[in-house]
Structure 1
Amino acid sequence: MSAKPKVWIARKLSDATLERAARDYDAIINMDDGLSSADEIVAMSAKVDAIIPCHSEHFTEDVANRLDPRLKIIANHSVGVDHCNLPALKARGIAVTNTPDVLSDATAEIAMLLMLGAARHAVKGDHLVRSGQWDFWSPSFMVGKQVTGARLGIIGMGRVGQAFARKARGFDMEIHYYNRSRLDPGSEAGATFHETIESLLAVSDFLSLHCPATPETTGLMNAERLAQLPAGAILINTARGALVDEAALLEALADGHLAAAGLDCFVKEPGGNPAFAEHQNIFMLPHIGSATTRTRDAMGFRALDNLDAFFRGDTPKDLL
């Protein structure tokens, strides 16, 4: 019987995922769950046939060029692959997969949480009660922005964008979207398609980002585009931090053009932007959009499914 393929699991994944990996592969598991440097990734590539990384492991062009020929596949435990230089990895003959489909609802739930929290002063309200400073009430106290019936703009109407739209319809929101291509009528479900981002911005009381980070979308929401949102609009980002010009966002919040923001991702991760902490109208979470037990199990199993197919000699379902 041939030896099992050797796999490095670069972060501590769900218990169910690790149990399956240990059963089916010769698995090296980073139980310490710490970040690995570029040199550590390169060194590990000489010891394994496959790597299951998260978005926290960066396969830059330099790293890709230094990977050992033994490494044959990178089965990402993520949907986004902006941490991977795909052309450089392809040139080395290394297969790359991701985990689409399985985290759409969990991420859409976080987008809904951020939208509601940003609209209704969740940060300020929690602080007042928790700190014992809540000693006042009036009809003008903590008045926020109503979500029900508002116009929601979505940039990126893929799996997560559509899942968010379905949930937003429960609040009777009017759905507008921009996408690289228009959806079929059944998938649109009554949403209004906009051929340009600028057209979408003009009608977005709330704007939610659900597109990947690419060279074309980096800094997508810059000062010019933020200014095109209606006064008092709220920005939600559960996609990638690179989509937002953070300095421009701070300025738009400081001058009152934007009422609030809800952010689950940042240009610098981990850590975020320290300047955001000064603003109680920014509701923040530490990039936990897919962090439910069910979704983490599904992501891990999807990555392993891709490995199983690859080592059987089949084309992985999620080959990029």
Structure 2
Amino acid sequence: MSSKNRSTPEVEDKKHDAKLLANKDSGWSRLVLGVAAFEAHPFTKLLVAVAAVIGILITLLELREVRRVNEQEAIARAWSTLSTPARGNSGKVGAIEFLASRNISLRGLDLSCEAMGGQMKPVDTVNLPDLMMCSHLVELRGLDLSFETHGHLVDLSEANFEGVVIADGNFSAAAMANASFKNGVIQNTVFDQAFLLGADFDNVRWRNVIDFRGAFLMHAVFDKELPIAADWECADVSNLSVPPEFLDNKEPNTTDWLSGAFHSSSDYNVELQRLGSELFEYDRQDDPDRSRPERCDALRPYYEDHGKFFTQVYPLLFPETSGPTD
């Protein structure tokens, strides 16, 4: 076919319009022309654009609601995993880290032997009557609740890990006031700059190096086995509870056990000097913001953030006092 006879869309549209004009008196032609005029009107185009925007907004809101529902379901599943009695890991590490990543408080979390359906039993009733182990052992390996990972202080105040095995954990700068780890096993775990006011480590079996650098351990309890291989640099051990035989230096390798740590002045804390802790005396009137030796200032980036946990938990631990004392 020659180019002269080839029809184009533009030509066809003109022929169509010409036919409509030739038959403009017909009802169908008038309807078609009316629709075309309506579609070409600026107001119609505006309505179409507005409808498109509304459609997009509705879709976005629906997606947002789906995400919200999915998030709530994931949170519910995480709590269900933590509350379900089960030995071993059973997904509990992932559940704890998920809730922590959402900045959900884990205050009062109970993964204790009893809560998980087990019983604390002596390992050797004859030779080691104080050594207890859970019959339904819960293991938390690689648990990371550090500030560096989550970007905020993870709240584990009053959590109960009695009889739990914690290995290769990271609780750096976590708020763990009045938490219980008694009768458990703690291996190769980081507690640097953690807030451990009143934490109970009674009868814990310690394995490998434990990092307590810059930790706040006022009134913490270490009444049985002590972590000899630990880094205590700049840890506040004021009113730390330790076995009397350690204070009397009757146990070997304990004279420098708390080397690098410090304590504020009190009659009991003077005894901690026998274990290598530095006596830290200061005058709050001269320097009200100073609460640790100057050499430790580099290890206190989260100290002020811990203050709110301090004011909340201290009255619960010591209701007979209105606040912390030296």
TM-score by length of 1: 0.24
Indicate the structure with greater strand content.
Answer: 1
TM-score by length of 2: 0.24
